[in-house]
Amino acid sequence: MEYLIHEFILLWAVIDPIGTVPVFLAVTASMDASLSRRTAFKAVFIAAMVLVFFVVAGQLLMESMGIPLPAFEIAGGIVLFIFALTMIFGESKPEEEIHLIEKGAATAVFPLAIPSIASPGAMMAVVMLTDNHRYSIGEQFVTSMLVMAVLAITLVLLLLAGPIKRVIGDAGASIISRVMGLILASVAVNAVLSGISTHFGLATM
């Protein structure tokens, strides 16, 4: 159970469903209710396909290039850590991605599906959490179901975006995004330490 909670929190942090709500509202500001709902379903579907691709083929691509697991784990941890720092110290996720909309990229694919839902951090995280050398097929299936669960929650939040926005506001979404960034940073550091321990054959606690 503790393992499932850990993975769920990590996936929640990198996908950040609440942080996607302001981005969705900005994307769909000029749409009617029907088109807004279709946009939500399309964005989540596209994000799901991208993340499933990385679950299935991400590690195979790494291994085909001769990248050893410890190196990938360390690199993945560093990428996640940088991603977390941008969530904590930079513009929050909603603010940063709304700027993309202001540049004329207001579609379900970009920036809503990518990089808001299926972010680079989410892509890296699902590869690390479904490592073929560390997790069984059953465990990888459970992780995939957790990804789908977080995406399902994301879809529900997008469909309820209006009421949620009125409750938490932009400031609330920004605060939650930064807290998730702090959690993600600690997970990223742990991944780097794990990779170093594996590479040098060090005992882990």
49 HSE (CA, 13 A, CB side): 8
Confidence (pTM): 0.78
The dihedral over CA atoms of 66, 70, 74, 79, expressed in degrees to the nearest 10, equals 40
> Where does the pLDDT of residue 105 fall: very low under 50, low under 70, confident under 90, or very high at 90 and above?
very low
Beta bridge pairs of residue 39: none
- Identify the CA nearest to 22 among candidates 148, 137, 168, 142: 168
- The region of weakest confidence among 14-18, 65-69, 90-94, 101-105 is 101-105
Side chain identity, residue 102 = E
- Strongest mean pLDDT among 45-54, 57-66, 73-82, 157-166: 45-54
Choose between 204 and 99: higher pLDDT. Answer: 99
The dihedral over CA atoms of 152, 153, 154, 159, expressed in degrees to the nearest 10, equals 90
Helices (H), 31-160: 33-64, 69-88, 93-102, 120-129, 137-159
Cis peptide, bond prior to residue 111, ω within 30 of zero? yes
In the chain, what are the domain boundaries?
20-198
